[in-house]
Chains A and B, each alone.
Chain A
Amino acid sequence: SAFEWVARRVVQELDHGGDLIPVTSLQSSTGFKPYCLVVRKPSGSWFWKPRYKHISLSIKDILEPDAPEPVLQHGGPFHIHDTVDGQLRTSVEVAVPGQGKVAGGASVSDSSSTSLNVFSLSVGPNTWQALLQERHLRQPEHRILQQLRCRGDNVYVVTEVLQTQKEVEVTRTYRREGSGLVSLAGAMCLQGEGEGHLSQKKTVTIPSGSILAFRVALLVIQSDLEVILFPDKKQKTFQPPPTGYRPFSSKGSWWM
């Protein structure tokens, strides 16, 4: 989709090779706000990654509600400018105010020019420490957490997001004789397109404040709550059941 394309492009420019996760649909974008809880759907394949799914719960829903709301740190805005020359995209530039360009583009074309402003919102490491010292797990445990505990699913909390600063209209334009082109048209941007070559257009409007990408930390829920910013593969949200307990069909056993 056009939205997913934009999200991927932004992640590629701002966090290439990092652990920011692009949001795949505009519809689910609001579910990935800071402090929201998400689960990672297991993948049945070695060839496609597990997907994150929001569960309509925030960390505030599982903690005792008697502390002031912690603030978020703002970063950016980052200005992403994408230039298209009518055949293939030729350059992408990312500029951070006060720091100049952080990634350079090469050529400039007058056929199509695109622009997008995003900023980051993140929970500082000290905020986590303070939050977890002052607030404790709500009892009884939330029903959704109970279900996830039964399934042994890991639960993650969103710690950072990239959001659009202004509404942006994204148009994917296809030329009969050429490659697919993407252009963004926001309040601050110019858009120029050739005439007479277009055969198909798809447009989506991304509202301001839409989340394009997010970063997560693992929650470990025992007697208290821990937020693990850099989890290792062995760490789990819920303690495994005692030895000897076997849920219906440990799946591997059937195959064996």
Chain B
Amino acid sequence: DLSMKGCIGNFWTDGVPVNGTVTEDFQGLRAEVEVVSKELALMDGQLCRLLLEGLERGLRDQLALQALEEALEQGLSSGPVEPLDGPAGAVLDCLVLPSRMLVLELAVPVVYLLGALNTLSKAQHQLLVEAVELKTLSRQLELVGSLLEKSAPWQKCSTLSLPPELLKSGWGVETPAWVLLEECGLELREDPPHVHWEPQAQDCVCALYASLALLSELSQE
């Protein structure tokens, strides 16, 4: 299996493909994200800063983000990558050798993150940029993680109340947490704070969780 899933799976259990043991629940998602997160944690601090800066700029330009994902996927499957302009180029330059071959240890986790980011909407991208700048990623991550944990089984609709301790930064139609979740297709209520879980929102909410977790990892001092 040459897909990314194969990569993550192999790495996850030290060489033993994990395909048979993935559970489609929050524990499974968290485990998958932790694998990638650990790879990012090994990166040099300056490299993390450069990557984060490039990704922040990319999040303001969806086409750049898509072009970067495209270039990395192509590089992973067929060799040297062509230089790119703008924010996509800045990120790409962090991931290639002088021969323009990708450094796989760096490129694979970044491709995973880009896959998650490219599942999200433009409005969510803008809010992620703000969360990076305001250093509120971990707070949003906690909220989304809690929601994913409580909404099991994901295949069924449910109505969930949100714990007040996770809503300290506010909860209402104009707050970032509201918009991030609402853009995933969830119906929200303000008072008392509730989320109506829709199975169709699963992909987007999981991608949001992964994006928050990995951007948070890159933002670590």
Minimal beta-carbon separation of B99 from chain A (angstroms): 11
Q: Are A151's CB and B74's CB within 8 A?
A: yes
Additional 8 contacts, C-beta under 8 A, given A252-B6, A252-B10: A8-B200, A45-B210, A180-B173, A249-B102, A249-B104, A250-B2, A254-B108, A255-B7
**What are 27 A-B contacts defined by CB distance under 8 Å?**
A12-B200, A43-B5, A44-B8, A45-B8, A45-B32, A46-B28, A47-B24, A47-B32, A48-B115, A48-B119, A48-B203, A48-B204, A48-B207, A151-B77, A151-B78, A176-B172, A177-B190, A179-B188, A200-B174, A247-B78, A248-B101, A250-B2, A252-B10, A254-B7, A254-B108, A255-B7, A255-B10
Answer yes or no: A150 CB below 8 A from chain B CBs: yes
Closest 4 CB pairs of A and B: A44-B4, A47-B206, A48-B203, A255-B10
Q: Are B7's CB and A252's CB within 8 A?
A: yes
A residues less than 8 Å from B207 (CB atoms): 45, 47-48
User: Which B positions have Cβ atoms within 8 angstroms of A?
Assistant: 1-8, 10-11, 15, 22, 24, 28-29, 32, 73-74, 76-79, 101-102, 104-105, 108, 111-112, 115-116, 118-119, 121, 123, 172-174, 182-183, 185, 187-191, 194, 196, 200, 202-204, 206-207, 210
Output the nearest chain B residue to A1 by Cβ-Cβ distance.
Answer: B121
A49 to B102, CA, bound (A): 25
Output the nearest chain A residue to B203 by Cβ-Cβ distance.
Answer: A48
Q: Are B28's CB and A42's CB within 8 A?
A: no
Interface footprint category on A:
35 or more
A residues less than 8 Å from B196 (CB atoms): 88, 179
Q: Are A180's CB and B188's CB within 8 A?
A: yes
Residue of A45, A178, A200, A251 near B116 (CB, 8 A) is: A45
Q: Are A176's CB and B190's CB within 8 A?
A: yes
A177 to B190, CA, bound (A): 6
